Every structure is written in C-alpha cells, then in structure tokens.
Amino acid sequence: MSSHDAIPAPGGEHASAGGGHYPAHTPKAPRVAGVEFIGTGSYLPEDKITNAGLERIMDTTDEWIVQRTGIRERRKADPAKHESAWTMASGALENALADARIPADQLDLIIVATVSSEMATPSVASRIANRLKAGKAAAFDLAAACSGWVYGLNVAHEMIRGGGITTAAVIGTEHLTQYMDYSTAGRGCAILFGDGAGAAVLRRAADPAKGAIAWSMHGDGTGWKDLYIPRRPDDLPEGTDPAAVKMGQMFMNGREVFKFAVGTFQSLIAETLDKAGVRAESVAHFVCHQSNVRILEAARERFGIPQDKLYVNIHRVGNTSAASVPICFDELRRAGRIHPGDKVMFLAFGAGLTWSSSLWQF
C-alpha cells in the first residue's frame, strides 16, 4: 500500500538555514505541479446483449438479473467490425484527444488498463501509439482488472506531479464478452460483463492545488481464485475439478466477490476521505466501478450520498471492468456535470483482488 495525503506547498521547504558549514545556495523549488483532466472520451460498441436476449440462450430471467444486479443490457464488441480491446481503446483515446484539442504527439505517456488484450505483446498502448501517431510516447499496459484504470490514473498523476512528464493518456478497455460462458452453467457470471473503453488525457497544471488530494492502491493476492480466466488446467486453484471450470472462460465465485466488494467499497471511501481530511458531503461526485447496483446502493446509504452524486450507468452497459470508471466519468463530463472547484472521488475494486481510489480537486 502506498499513498499520499496532501500536495506540499511549492518552494521554501529545503531552504538552507544559512551560516553553517555549507555554502549558501538558492534552493530549487520542489518539482511539484498540479494535474488536471483536459479531455475525456469513450467508445461503446453498437451491438447490445439485452436481458431478453440472455433469456433466449440460458436459464435466466430479466427479473432475476435486474433485481440482483440492476443490469438491463450490455454492449458487445463485434470482431466483424474489427472491434476489440485495442480498437475500442483507440476510439476512446481519439475522442479524448479531440475533447482536449491536442494531437497525439503531445502525449508523453500512454497507459492502457486491460485484462482482455488480443496479444501478449505488443501492448495495446503501443498499438494505439502507432495508430494515432503518438511519436515517442512511453506506452505500457497495466493488468489490475476492474481497478486498472484507477491504478493507472494514480501512476500517471504521480509522474506528472513529480515533474517527470507533462501530458498522459490513461485508458481502460475491455473485450470481456469473449470470455463469457453463455450456457446456463455460466449464468452467474455471464450476465454481468460487457465491452467498451474509456479514456482521459491529463496534463500538468500551473495551479498546484489541482489534482489528487488523496489516493489509495491495495491488493490481496490470496483472493485471486475468486475471479480468474484460466488458460490451462495448471492455472486452476489446487483441488479444483478441471471439469467444473472451462478453459478460456471467466470463473467467478459470485458470493465471495460480492462480500469483498461491499466491504471494500465502503472502507475505501472512508479511508480516502480520512486521508484527505474531507467529509463525504464535500465530494461533488463519486465515480465508481459499476459492478452491481446493490453494491453501489449499500455504499450510498452508508455514507448518505444523494443519488445525483453517485453516477450509475450499469443498467445500460453492465460491468465493463477497467473501462467502467472512465466511461462513467466521460458521460458525466459530457453532460456538463463536472465544475471547477469540484472534488471528485474515483473508486474501483476487482480481480486480483485489487482496489483503488483517487480523490481529485478540480
């Protein structure tokens, strides 16, 4: 776990007391900058998988899915239209760059959070850099499942804030429908996930007060076996009957993940507010991973968060893992609901197990 609590004031802290054994010198200002979002974008495939469509292929009902998850439909990438993790990510970043009004060659860094890239190498980030002509931008992928984009946001923020780079793109993209078992055996998991991508462009800001005022990144590898996509029988947790799990398809222990998510989500909000010394009512928006509407509602009730401060789009797009938070944020921003001076908390949790937050001052 690592975190920071506040942005140090620029200048002065390392000033020489003078008159000692060391020559007097003019201290350099600490390399601390503000960070701001200058653009966002998203990409959602047109094809939909509705609950009615699922009723036709597995033993489930619209009523069961809506009651347990809040989901009514999710999007599905169509390989015939060349939709995949990297092409959706590329579309989302193009939209974010258009919103930011900067060309791709101004990017110093591209981070792509995904668990569903087409190839083990090169990274999705490298392919995007090539397609969008991002010049010599550093480019890498990050695999932290549903927490991936928030992990990436914190990494890019710290790199900009520390002065190493000026402009970064952080993208979340997932083509998860390819890993779903749409037979009745996989119905607990397959109803949840959809495809899509969301992107944000961050830039160094003159005002050091702008940027993350508190963040957290956590993991607990002991929970890896509650959510995984095995490729070989050797990948299965010890003692698992290979006949019970299909290779190449997502396995989820829904009840365990639910318990983890409800508890973690709430403690993550409390921890982040504590670190920042901020009360829940001062936060304008909680932009949360869309895993299950019941998990979101439990947190909303515990912290007394009004409905309009906790954005929900899971009914339209399902759980898009790493793409979930940036898609929500892009929708909020495009609706004109993010204002200068707002505090916005990003939150996510998922496979690994992993969880992460980032509380921003706009």
Question: Which residues are known to be catalytic?
Answer: 146, 289, 319
Pick the closer one to ligand COA by CB: 260 or 360. Answer: 260
Q: Verify binding: residue 292, ligand COA, rule CB under 6 A.
A: yes
Report d(CA 261, CA 295) in Å as an integer. 7
Q: How many CB atoms lie within 10 A of CB 202?
A: 26
Q: Least separation, in Å, of the C-beta of 93 and ligand COA?
A: 23
Q: Least separation, in Å, of the C-beta of 223 and ligand COA?
A: 11
Structure tokens at 314: 């899971």
Q: Least separation, in Å, of the C-beta of 173 and ligand COA?
A: 16
How many residues are recorded in the chain? 362
Report d(CA 86, CA 126) in Å as an integer. 10
Site string for ligand COA, 175-204 (x = CB under 6 A): ------------xx--xx------------
Q: Verify binding: residue 30, ligand COA, rule CB under 6 A.
A: no
Pick the closer one to ligand COA by CB: 64 or 224. Answer: 64
Q: Verify binding: residue 257, ligand COA, rule CB under 6 A.
A: yes
Q: Verify binding: residue 159, ligand COA, rule CB under 6 A.
A: no
Phi, psi of 312 (to 5 degrees): -130, 125
- Coil/strand/helix, residue 325: helix
Q: How far is CA 76 from CA 71, 190, 318, 360, in A?
A: 14, 12, 10, 32
**Residue reference for tokens 């990494």:** 155
The residue at minimum Cβ distance from ligand COA is 254
Pick the closer one to ligand COA by CB: 291 or 358. Answer: 291
Report d(CA 157, CA 165) in Å as an integer. 10
Residue span binding ligand COA (CB under 6 A) among the ranges 41-49, 78-86, 250-258, 273-281:
250-258
Site string for ligand COA, 35-74 (x = CB under 6 A): -------------------------x---xx--xx-----
**Residue reference for tokens 């010890």:** 238
Report d(CA 145, CA 355) in Å as an integer. 9
Q: Least separation, in Å, of the C-beta of 193 and ligand COA?
A: 8
DSSP 8: P
- Coil/strand/helix, residue 272: helix
Residue ranges that bind ligand COA, judged by CB under 6 A = 60, 64-65, 68-69, 146, 187-188, 191-192, 252, 254-255, 257-258, 261, 291-292, 319, 350
